[in-house]
Amino acid sequence: MVALSSCEAEYNAGAYAACQAVWLHSVLSEMTIEVKEPIQLLVDNKSAINLANNPISHGRSKHIETRYHFLREQVNSGKLKLVYCPTQQQLADVLTKPLKKERFEHLRNDLGIFEALSLN
């Protein structure tokens, strides 16, 4: 599916992440590992967060397929909480995007991964 806006793209990605979070929660529960609820999902698009938090369908979001509203259902049931995370703080970018060296090194360090020293 091709998203018509960055909001829709983030909302769709959030829906897929919500599915994974719910699955992971059930696996951990079966292993008797307690998980704090709601699970926090970091999103860098405030419009997508507002769309998920607001149960009223907006005219501009009518085209978003019903299957992606799973995200909204999880938020409304209290199982998932969307938290705004500015793009500059998105640690996942180091694994998903081509970055300039300085940005890559900053995010890598934030993850606690450091450059291995060569033994040559």
Sign of CA dihedral 26, 32, 37, 39: negative
Contacts of 104 (CB under 8 A, 6+ apart): 94
Residues 68 and 14 placed together within one structural domain of the fold: yes
Is 1 inside any structural domain?
A: no
Q: Quote the domain boundaries for residue 23.
A: 6-85
pLDDT in tens, 4-34: 677 878 888 888 888 899 899 999 999 999 8
Residues 63 and 118 in one domain: no
Within a domain: 68: yes
User: Do 73 and 100 fall within a single domain?
Assistant: no
Say what the pLDDT of residue 28 is. 92
CA gap 120, 102 in Å, rounded: 25
What percent of the chain is predicted at pLDDT more than 90? 9
Domain assignment present for residue 66? The answer is yes
Do 92 and 70 sit in the same domain of this protein?
A: no
pLDDT of 35 over the 80 cut: yes
64/106 same-domain check = no
The pLDDT of residue 117 is 63
